[in-house]
Structure 1
Amino acid sequence: MSKLIFVFLALIPLLCTSFSPEKPSDRRILVLLDDFAIKSSHSLFFNSLKSRGFDLQFHLADDPKIALQRYGQYLYDALILFSPTIERFGGSIDAAAILDFVDSGHDLIVAADSNASDLIREIATECGVDFDEDPAAVVVDHSAYAVSATEGDHTLIASDDFIKSDVIFGSKKIEAPVLFQGIGHSLNPTNSLVLKVLSASPSAFSANPKSKVTSPPSLTGTSISLVSIIQARNNARILISGSLSLFSNRFFRSGVQKAGSPTKHEKSGNEQFLNELSKWIFHERGHLKAVNVQHHKVGEANEPAIYRINDNLEYSVEVYEWSGTAWEPYVADDVQVQFYMMSPYVLKTLSTDGKGRYFTSFKVPDVYGVFQFKVEYEKLGYTSLSLSKQIPVRPFRHNEYERFIPAAYPYYGASFSMMVGFFIFTAVHLYSK
Structure 2
Amino acid sequence: MAKLLLFLTLIPLLPFLCTSFSPENPSSRRALVLLDDLALKSSHSDFFKSLQSRGFDLDFKLADDPKIALQRYGQYLYDGLILFCPTTERFGGSVDLAAILDFVDSGHDLIVVADTNASDLIREIATECGVDFDEDAAAMVVDHTSYAVSETEGDHTLIASDDFIKADVILGGKKIEAPVLFQGIGHSLNPANTLVLKVLSASPSAYSANPKTKLANPPSLTGSAISLVSILQARNNARILISGSLNMFSNRFFKSGVQKAGSSIKHEKSGNEQFLTELSKWVFHERGHLKAVNVRHNNAGEADEPAMYRISDDLEYSVEIYEWSGTSWEPYVADDVQVQFYMMSPYVLKNLSTDKKGHYFTAFKVPDVYGVFQFKVEYQRLGYTSLSLSKQIPVRPYRHNEYERFIPAAYPYYGAAFSMMAGFFIFTGVHLYNK
- Counterpart of 2:103 in structure 1 is 101
Corresponding residue SS for 2:282: helix
Corresponding residue SS for 1:213: coil
**In 1: Cα distance, 2:231 partner to 2:214 partner:** 32
**In 2: Cα distance, 1:228 partner to 1:149 partner:** 25
How many aligned residue pairs are there?
Answer: 419
- Residue deviations 1:215-252, cap 9 Å, x none? 11000010000000001111100000000111011111
**In 1: Cα distance, 2:151 partner to 2:160 partner:** 15
**In 2: Cα distance, 1:410 partner to 1:156 partner:** 84
User: 1:115 offset after TM fit, Å?
Assistant: 1.6
Corresponding residue SS for 2:258: coil
- Counterpart of 1:310 in structure 2 is 312
**In 1: Cα distance, 2:69 partner to 2:10 partner:** 21
The one-letter amino acid paired with 1:39 is K
User: 1:430 offset after TM fit, Å?
Assistant: 8.6
User: 1:428 offset after TM fit, Å?
Assistant: 8.0
Corresponding residue SS for 1:21: helix
Contact 2:146 2:260 in 1 (8 A): yes
User: 1:150 offset after TM fit, Å?
Assistant: 4.7
- Residue deviations 1:127-164, cap 9 Å, x none? 00000011111000010011136523311111111111
Structure label with greater radius of gyration:
1
> In the alignment, is residue 22 of structure 1 matched against residue 13 of structure 2?
yes
Distance 1:292 1:150, change over 3 A: closer
Q: CA RMSD in A?
A: 1.9
> In the alignment, is residue 157 of structure 1 matched against residue 148 of structure 2?
no
2:79 to 61, 74, 77: 77
Corresponding residue SS for 2:375: strand
The one-letter amino acid paired with 2:241 is L
- Counterpart of 1:405 in structure 2 is 407
The one-letter amino acid paired with 1:308 is R
Corresponding residue SS for 1:295: strand
- Counterpart of 1:121 in structure 2 is 123
- Counterpart of 1:249 in structure 2 is 251
Distance 1:313 1:164, change over 3 A: same
- Residue deviations 1:255-293, cap 9 Å, x none? 111111111111111111100100000000011111000
Corresponding residue SS for 1:52: coil
**In 1: Cα distance, 2:9 partner to 2:152 partner:** 60
2:367 to 341, 365, 368: 365
**In 1: Cα distance, 2:208 partner to 2:220 partner:** 7
> In the alignment, is residue 138 of structure 1 matched against residue 140 of structure 2?
yes
Distance 1:39 1:425, change over 3 A: same
- Counterpart of 2:23 in structure 1 is none
Give the TM-score taking structure 2 as reference length. Answer: 0.93
Gap runs ≥5 in structure 1? 1-12
> In the alignment, is residue 263 of structure 1 matched against residue 254 of structure 2?
no
**In 1: Cα distance, 2:97 partner to 2:310 partner:** 53
The one-letter amino acid paired with 1:33 is L
- Counterpart of 1:209 in structure 2 is 211
- Counterpart of 1:8 in structure 2 is none
- More off after superposition, 89-98 vs 395-404: 395-404
Percent identical residues = 83
Distance 1:263 1:429, change over 3 A: closer
Gap runs ≥5 in structure 2? 21-28
1:178 to 177, 180, 186: 180
**In 1: Cα distance, 2:402 partner to 2:310 partner:** 11
Corresponding residue SS for 1:227: strand
1:284 to 259, 283, 286: 286
Distance 1:419 1:88, change over 3 A: same
